[in-house]
Amino acid sequence: MSDRKAFLTLEGSDAAIELPVYSGTAGQDVVNIAPMASNNLFTFDPGFTATASCESKITYIDGANGVLLHRGYPIEQLAEKSDFLETCFLLLNGELPDAEEKKQFYNTITYHTMVSRSIELFLNGFRYDAHPMAIMCGSVGAMSSFYHDSLDISNPEHRMISAHRLIAKMPTLAAMCYKHYIGQPYIYPDNSLSYSENFLHMMFNTPCEHKEVNPILARAMDRIFLLHADHEQNASTSTVRLAGSSGANPFACIAAGIAALWGPAHGGANEAVLTMLEQIGDESRIDEFVARAKDKNDPFRLMGFGHRVYKNFDPRATIMKQTCDEVLEALGVEDPLLKIAKRLEQIALEDEYFIQKKLYPNVDFYSGIILKAMGIPVEMFTVIFATGRTVGWIAHWNEMLSNAYKIGRPRQLYTGAPKRDYPG
């Protein structure tokens, strides 16, 4: 694997520590720093900005050039030619399904969408105004108490059964979180509908009224799920891997991922976009807030612009912009916040400041607008993100368990008090 070496020499020492250098299929080479430990040295990398925590074959990101590949396939091609469930199969299995595999996989997911009646009773224990992410995190963790037949993480078949159950049941749980939040009865899955149609059916229908799902909205939701399916070693995926390295069951690991995703710096970014639009409030105030965003002494930031990984453009944003335009045209909504959003988009794409800083609208900006236009409250945005990301989490969890792995155990730079004696 390694045909090159790096050497670390400490000032004042003649000895050099030999460190193997590994090359992947694409991307940066990595230095194996494990030999440093035997020399009583650790690296210091807050935020893991220069640390490869694992080896993976699932997703590759080239942030400088705006590239996102799932198992080698560009995200643009998957969004155009594939759909969410086929992408799920790809992430889990490494290859696209043939016709028979696709039929069988879709059938498996469709007929595992129902959840135990006891889950409904469990959800009723949450306060009437509980945040949907709190309900989602708790209910996914609780699912481990229902499926004792497939919790042997050393068994590949058990792992795949759990993967199918999680992918299938997440939209059902997400819709139930929403219904509990707004005080409506739960709506059961409909096996005649596609994955995304079914989710919208469970979200917006009631026992009193059944409405057909708009195919443009269903396609938009499918793209939202697909574009959020995986994003390499982000905070929530790393959390799932770390929890999984302890031998925890899959439902506990995914619940840990949901908890990490809940943070506003991660999955809550599209919710922050709507909060920002509400703060601006009116089109007449846009120039004022744009000026504040340009002022380095002002803490205000335009949410939904730029990305920590993508230094040029987010390839998912281009697809999401097209989807956003389709949804707004189909719905013909006249929402003041959406008008503000469209004007901000125009400024970001034309203003020299944003162009030079490469602060282009990202996937969170457009997905927030789409979900708002569809009538989904901001409290549900991260729940929907979690529904799409579940397949990525479970694919990384399964990949880790399929290979030799160690329990995650980062070290630290200790800056506390030295050893001292108790007084008296």
CA atoms of 166 and 238, how far apart (whole Å): 18
Nearest CA to 323 out of 366, 269, 357 is that of 366
| pLDDT value, residue 387 | 98
pLDDT of the chain along its 424 residues, tens only? Answer: 557 899 888 888 888 888 899 999 988 899 988 888 888 888 888 888 888 889 999 999 998 888 999 999 999 999 999 999 999 999 999 999 999 999 999 999 999 999 999 999 999 999 988 999 999 999 999 999 998 888 999 999 999 999 999 999 999 999 999 999 999 999 999 999 999 999 999 999 999 999 999 999 999 999 999 999 999 999 999 999 999 999 999 999 999 999 999 988 788 777 888 888 889 998 899 999 999 989 989 998 888 887 778 777 788 988 988 898 899 889 987 778 878 888 888 888 888 888 888 888 888 888 888 998 999 999 999 999 999 999 999 999 999 999 989 999 998 889 999 999 999 8
**CA atoms of 329 and 288, how far apart (whole Å):** 28
CA atoms within 13 A on the CB side of 337: 17
Distance of CA 198 to the CA centre of its chain: 21
Q: Are 68 and 75 in contact (CB under 8 A)?
A: yes
* pTM assigned to the model: 0.90
Count of CB atoms situated within 10 Å of the CB of 65: 11
Residues serving a catalytic function are 266, 307, 364
The confidence score (pLDDT) of residue 28 equals 87
Per DSSP, 305 falls in state B
pLDDT given at position 2: 58
Give bridge partners of residue 69 from the DSSP assignment: 60, 74
**CA-CA distance, 369 to 336, in Å (whole number)?**
12
For residue 182, what are its two tokens? 């707004």
The one-letter amino acid at 143: M
Write the DSSP assignment of 197-265 as a string of letters: HHHHHHHH-BTTB--PPPHHHHHHHHHHHHHTS--SS-HHHHHHHHHHTTT--HHHHHHHHHHHHTSTT
Buried b (16+ CB within 10 A) or exposed e, 351-368: eeebeeeebbbbbbbbbb
9, 40, 398 from 35: Cα distances, Å = 13, 9, 28
* The pLDDT value given to residue 359: 85
